[in-house]
């Protein structure tokens, strides 16, 4: 199984709502990532978890709150978002080891619309 599964595929939420994005992998990967991608732009790194601990936060606003409950799951909790936060949110995972076998696997993304 080389899949990273993201749910939901599409999400529409109001600016006062609280919602969560979910990501799951069963490849035994110990690094997991959240990326944000605006239309016609490259994905931008938001967070990196390694061994279930948050290792990198790329100065992301606190209205985005990541959580890694176990080595297979990654959540992104959303609260009080703005319309400009509308984007494709991508989850990825990788082996988190030094050396050559470190390709990341990406999910298909959650397309988020904030109204």
Partner 1 sequence: DAKTTQPTSMDCAEGRAANLPCNHSTISGNEYVYWYRQIHSQGPQYIIHGLKNNETNEMASLIITEDRKSSTLILPHATLRDTAVYYCIEYTSGTYKYIFGTGTRLKVLA
Minimum CB distance to partner 1 smaller for 4 or for 76: 4
| Residue 31: CB minimum distance to partner 1, A | 4
Minimum CB distance to partner 1 smaller for 31 or for 81: 31
Instruction: Summarize as ranges the residues that interact with partner 1 (CB under 8 A).
Output: 4, 31, 33, 37, 42-45, 48, 50, 55-56, 88, 90, 92, 94, 96, 98-100, 102-109, 111
| Residue 20: CB minimum distance to partner 1, A | 19
Map 70-112 to HEC letters: ECCEEEEEEECCCHHHCEEEEEEEECCCCCCCCCCEECCCEEE
């Amino acid at each position: 199984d080389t899949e990273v599964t993201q749910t939901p595929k599409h999400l529409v939420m109001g600016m006062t709502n609280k919602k969560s994005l979910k990501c799951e992998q069963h490849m035994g990967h110990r690094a997991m990532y959240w990326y944000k991608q605006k239309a016609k732009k490259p994905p931008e790194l938001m967070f990196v978890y390694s061994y279930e601990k948050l290792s990198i936060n790329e100065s992301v606003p606190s209205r985005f709150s990541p959580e890694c409950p176990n080595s297979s799951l990654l959540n992104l909790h959303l609260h009080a978002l703005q319309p400009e936060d509308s984007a494709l949110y991508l989850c990825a995972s990788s082996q988190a080891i030094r050396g050559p076998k470190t390709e990341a696997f990406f999910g298909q993304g959650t397309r988020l619309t904030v109204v």
